[in-house]
Amino acid sequence: MAMSAAQQGATAAAAAKPLRDFRGGESTTLALARAYDSLGINRDSVKDMPFESLVTSMQSPALLQAAKALLDRLETRLVASASSPVDDIDHLLKHLVASPPRRKAPPRSSSSQGTAKRSSSATSPGTATARYSPRVVLSAYMIVAHPGAVLSGQGEGEKELKESAVIFVKELELLIKAILEGPAPAGGQSATFSARLAGFDKAWCAYLYGFVAWKVKDARVLEGDLVRAACKLEVSMMQACKVDGELTHDMMAIRDQVAGDQALLRGKVRQLSGAAGVERMEAALSDARSEFLEARKTGGPAAAPVVVANVSTPLNVDSPPSAAAGSASSPAKQVTKENENLVNDMLHHGVGDDLFGAMTTDTTAEKDLEKRVREQMVNAFWDIVTESITGDNPDYSLLVRLVGEVRDFLQELSPKQLKSKEEIADKIDIEILSQVLGSGSQEQNAQYLGQILQYSLDTVRKLSAAAKEDEMKKSHVKLLSELAASSEVASGDNGVRSFAIAVSKGLRFVVEEIRELRAEVNKVRIEMAAQPILRGSAGVEYLQKAFADRYGPPANASASSLPLMLQFVSASKSVVEQQWREHSEALSALPSAGRAPGIVPVVLRAGHGAPVGQSSSSPEAASGDSGQPECNGDRLDKIVRIGLLQLISSMEELQTQSTPETFHLNLQRLKAVQCQFQRVIGIATSMLILRQVLMAESPKPTLAQLENAIAELFDALVKTLGSAPDAGAQQVVEAMIRASAAVGSPSEEKVQARRQVMGRVFVKSVQPGDTVFKMVYRAVHCAFRGVVLGGGGANGRKLADAALRRVGAARLADTVVKAAEVVIRVATVSEKVHGPWYNALI
């Protein structure tokens, strides 16, 4: 039977009622959705944010509060609207609350206790665990935007987590859109909306499962790192101190220090894995002690300790090289290895270069482990600082100790004048600080600590380089303003917490500033010590002696003593004359003035070639030679340079077991150049494909539109691949889509068509056997060869520009020059140090 207009209207109104109730329930649901949406967190916005900025945004209290309020309301509506019980995910939710509660929350008022009805699946008895965790929800955006930075591995679990995060974020945004925009005119919207809400929850369950599985796996790995660090500390202490007998004052200090460091590790393990993790740690410590005592009793070798940096206070995190860990069985070898690296870095970086930064870069797996443990321990330390001064009975002993060390380090770094040190001691008076903190007045505490922070920041600024003063002053003013604002809004229990967080944040800022200052001082000292090595032959002679001690003298060089070096020389000799001839021909073909002609292969041209006016120039290029010499035709120089070019242009990752013995000290440098080589291929291929796809469309874009799109793509890929080197094809294709958005005002259908074409062509074009790949690889190889053999001056730059211009990638010339100059440095240093061995094998 046909319905009348009135009946149809009533039916439509009835169908729309559930959505109106959802949006306006208690007059807050729509407001909550608007409040969350106004913060601008969505799929498009997060992809354009650098990882560090995104992390900061996700930790914003305003965002967390808005997300929690909205998610709590979604849970309430899910339970109320579900026709059948929702999925039970208690077994997953319990992994999100493994950390013990820090403070007991005050009881809710009777009016708030009955606000939201919880399902049995959303909570466990005696707890109030929300079904939707705001932090886990926001983590999905981080995984979608920066999977390489968030996910430590590339296994199936990480892949599934990433895919589920993409689906969940999509469902969340569709649900929010439904809340904000309201029902469509057509009937049946209530069923559609219920399905949308159920789809959101289903996507959440799938994502939560993957997230928990990944979290548990990552937590176990990190727990293992922390437990190993604690065991190594234990063995180090037992070797340094007497197991039985009387302890000296120094030994007691070491034991106290190790106990403090292990307490930090234990607290972090408890946060990760709860009491079970602590039990595993204690069992491992017990086993380490037993093994050490057994080895001592039987006379066997004990496990070699690795000394983790002292972080009882974070000012000591960056211990000097002399305090680095060493093998208990052969400390002399460890020191020798460190000295070799130090001298090698000095020879590669002149006094005017960033020598200190190069020497302090952790590259090995062991260093990476130590760095991760160190970061965890520092974070744990500041958590302890905050918690120790929070609560009804705050303990200020750790805070006082930290302020005392700030005073001591400021005195150490200040000029050696008695008056200056006395002034610091007077302004940062530990006795007065203890008395003020003991008074119980939060206002006095904040005032005196604020004075100490202000004085400390001013002192650090005066001791730092004059060039940094203005920048430091701005950051100091910003910090103090933030701390003052947090103190003004604080009240009651929240006030105590805000005070603790403000104090911890302020002191941490001061500590980081002091650490940077100490690094600058150490840098100057090291550069002064490096002068004799860089100006004389001492450094080369030292490395020659170390190499001879390890592999024998040049007279004994053979396939048995230096097999990889012999392979390197033989492989280079087989291609050196051909490569040199091609280089010479390219050099002679350069125009005497002006730029190289712009050429794009006919096979890939779709209307326009690379514009002749496209410039790769930069301030560096315009300034002339960089100082890296060209190859003069000497046979040894040609063999080493071309051999290195073959190494870094290989598609197989460089490994210690396949790298010539002469380059083991520089393996990380060569791996970094190899990464740049492959990155240049990827960017050049992307720009070429974008040009081809756009020029194949009708109507064709103007030359200005085309170049603007390619320039935007270049900037985006440099930024993306710089922050996430392992970015995949999807990120590259999306960058191409965004860069092409302004060309032709494409419809959604056209954008999808572009995405499919670009994705298919890009994936095909980066396969080693593909014609496009071979052509781009050849161009990039020629560009690197032009600089490696032609030097970092005008000739090398012109050769690189001409080679890259053939594939429309002249914008990458400066990147190629910088990377190839590293190869030249490695070659010239190796020829000086290992020349006798090369000549013996040649």
State residue 778's pLDDT score: 95
Q: Residues near 679 by Cβ (< 8 Å), separated by ≥ 6?
A: 721, 725, 815
Distance CA 813, CA 203 (A): 46
State residue 295's pLDDT score: 72
- Sign of torsion over alpha carbons 689, 694, 696, 697: positive
State residue 11's pLDDT score: 42
CB-count exposure of residue 762 (10 Å: 0-12, 13-18, 19+): buried
Distance CA 25, CA 39 (A): 22
State residue 775's pLDDT score: 94
Distance CA 262, CA 230 (A): 6
Q: Residues near 559 by Cβ (< 8 Å), separated by ≥ 6?
A: 566
State residue 127's pLDDT score: 43
Distance CA 714, CA 708 (A): 10
Task: Establish how many alpha carbons lie within 13 A of residue 274's alpha carbon, considering only the half-sphere containing its beta carbon.
Answer: 10
Distance CA 223, CA 215 (A): 12
Residue with tokens 């904040």: 446
Task: Give this prediction's pTM.
Answer: 0.50
pLDDT in tens, 744-785: 778 888 888 888 888 899 888 888 888 999 999 999 999 999
Q: Residues near 307 by Cβ (< 8 Å), separated by ≥ 6?
A: 232, 233, 236, 323, 324, 325, 326
Distance CA 51, CA 56 (A): 9
State residue 28's pLDDT score: 65
Question: What are the E-state strand segments in 703-780?
Answer: none
Distance CA 539, CA 533 (A): 5
Q: Decide: 226 and 219 in contact? Cβ < 8 Å.
A: no
Distance CA 646, CA 643 (A): 5
Which residues in the chain show pLDDT less than 70?
A: 1-28, 82-85, 91, 97-128, 152-155, 182-193, 218-219, 222, 240-254, 272, 296-338, 349-374, 376, 416-419, 440, 466-467, 482-497, 523, 525-536, 592-627, 723-726
Domain boundaries, the chain: 7-97+128-218, 309-314+341-530, 546-841
Distance CA 189, CA 482 (A): 47
